[in-house]
Structure 1
């Protein structure tokens, strides 16, 4: 996902602001720039923190590109949290229908758009993760959409009452493999991003096993692991969103990137 939030680990060292004697504008720069696990360190760009004249008090920072990572991370985290709460049977809710709309709009569309913009900024991991999980959310929404006929195709029969569970288990197992491979790509990113993918692949593995073995307890356990993964993703998204020039606080997210000699 990008910047310290996604597999691009950001290491910033904010320097005191400087004031333009002609405009009175305060600008800030970072001392160390950005460390990309694929392209190595690069210098951060000059930031102009002038306020929007049309909307006083609403800051617009003039950069060449916005960071798409927070959008993708928040979309992933919010959708995962809702599905995980349902899997954990929170408030006795067991049907996934309430998550279909969110899966289409936020987990699918918003996350896929974030992945496209990760491509534009040159982040292969972010593009793969956001576009992949955007497609994941779309496919889940389509499967639970009544008009698709997917669920009715696997309606229980006297000879095979659990064939829908078996089909869902196989579907989730494929995404477990995808997530596990992505997790291997986070070992040089940041602690909380690595934790996000660890708990997510663990959640998917438990969910697939629970459906294929028809064990409600295992499905509930996967829901709790998914809740932890979503909270970690929220943290990474907030860390990436609450930048030094835009927020009074920054969150701690240790980098796992090795220093190059």
Structure 2
């Protein structure tokens, strides 16, 4: 008898989306880095997504395993980049080196974006906006352009909100057994073969 597992993706998307919004409220210039962002990064953005990645592995979803586990560990690594120098365990990283860190994440996310192209529009939007966010933040750290960082903050808020939208859409559409939240699913092309007699 086969076991039916729940879809863990909405949990991972909410963890990603809510933490991304909080961080980018900071990037947009509204608040300094604080325990609010660090705690969300460790718990909901970090731990929850790593657990979701392991659940996606159990379901045989390679894309979900790679994406959720990687972004969960991204949050943990980002928190450590901030906290380790404060604890006196390492020197603070130069902004240009953080730029390389963000650039690598941007390239990684761009590669995953190509994996969304056959899926719903909302998935493309989440990964497309996240790719843009990483590249903007990398550019800000390479150049020191604060205006780009503020603009990136607004892009990040939109990105995080789109991930939450996808999570709620997946959850409610499953609950109601029909599409109550539009996700932009691709239309199934119907192919008709006609025999032409000459």
TM-based fold match above 0.5 = yes
Structure 2: distance between partners of 1:131 and 1:148: 28
Match of 2:121 in 1: 191
Match of 1:160 in 2: none
Structure 1: distance between partners of 2:89 and 2:132: 29
208, 222, 242: which one aligns with 2:152: 222
Larger radius of gyration: 1
1:104 aligns with 2:42: yes
Structure 1: distance between partners of 2:174 and 2:12: 20
Unaligned runs of 5+ in 2: 192-198
Q: Hey, which of these two has a bigger chunk of helix by percent? A: 2
Deviations 1:149-172 (A, max 9, x none): 34xx13xxxxxxxx6211211111
Q: Map residues 82-101 of structure 1 onto 2, 5 A cutoff.
A: 82-90=22-30, 93-95=31-33, 98-101=36-39
Q: Secondary structure of 1:242's match? A: helix
Q: Map residues 18-57 of structure 1 onto 2, 5 A cutoff.
A: none
TM-score with structure 2 setting the length: 0.86
Q: Map residues 1-261 of structure 1 onto 2, 5 A cutoff.
A: 64-90=4-30, 93-95=31-33, 98-145=36-83, 146-147=86-87, 149-150=89-90, 153-154=91-92, 164-245=94-175, 250-256=180-186, 259=189
Structure 2: distance between partners of 1:108 and 1:133: 7
Structure 1: distance between partners of 2:159 and 2:102: 16
Unaligned runs of 5+ in 1: 1-62, 155-162
Task: Give the CA RMSD over aligned residues.
Answer: 2.2
TM-score with structure 1 setting the length: 0.66
Structure 1: distance between partners of 2:124 and 2:37: 26
Structure 2: distance between partners of 1:99 and 1:70: 21
Structure 1: distance between partners of 2:132 and 2:140: 12
How many residues matched? 187
Structure 2: distance between partners of 1:209 and 1:67: 36
Q: Hey, which of these two has a bigger chunk of strand by percent? A: 1
1:244: Cα distance to partner?
Answer: 4.6
Structure 1: distance between partners of 2:36 and 2:88: 16
